[in-house]
Amino acid sequence: MSLKEYEETGKIPLINTRFPKMVVNTTHGMKKLPGDYEGKWLVLFSHPADYTPVCTTEFVSFQNHFDEFQAMNVELLGLSIDQVYSHIKWVDWIKENLDVEIKFPIIADHGEVARQLGMLHAKGSSTVRAVFIIDPKMIIRAILYYPSELGRNMKEIVRMIKGLKVASKHNVALPANWPHNELFGDDVIVPPAGDVETAKKRLEDNSITCLDWWLCHKKNPE
């Protein structure tokens, strides 16, 4: 099945497919997805419910990284199966009790959006801790799922966006724990050669270090 055929079936979206069109109600008014966010990176994340302990810590953490996301041309968009009034009151509670103002919108879902995106728990009607990282062309670049008992790591989400930007711009890959890889530091991985001639030239390229023809790295171009 091609990506186009897959997108037309209405199944859960996959990495490297375009985010599906929908209109959603949020704490900042109605939003058209993905159109209202084209040209920017988007982190769409779901949380199990308002007024819950782990979710509250996550929202505070997302907001604490808000300026960093903005500097990277990244928008944040939350979601749970709660009414917009619940979202608004919860955000007010966070401001009044924790002195943190949530500046990003939250989708008020009745379950339709969560079902379409595969954000629902297998049992029950609450959403999982899902994260969709979507690029400026509205292509889904990464999907993460967390259990209800484990809060997300915001630094990892920031790292992923930085890495995806570098990979997209320079046609490279990134090693484990980048930019602090145990073998190559902040170097980037050169994709394996697809033919003998390219492999030979790569071994002769002084800007590239190869352990073998298929394992080559070079300095981070950023």
**Cα-based distances in Å from 188 to 33, 147, 148:** 33, 31, 34
Q: In sequence order, which residues have a C-beta less than 8 Å from that of residue 68 and are 6 or more positions away?
A: 158
From the list 219, 125, 124, the residue with the least C-alpha distance to 179 is: 219
Q: Which of 33, 42, 55, 81 is catalytic?
A: 55
**Strands ordered across the beta sheet of 41-46:** 29-33, 22-26, 106-108, 74-80, 41-46, 129-134, 140-146
55 labelled catalytic? yes
CA distance 168 to 173: 9
Sign of CA pseudo-dihedral 104, 110, 111, 112 = negative
Question: What is the set of active-site residues?
Answer: 55
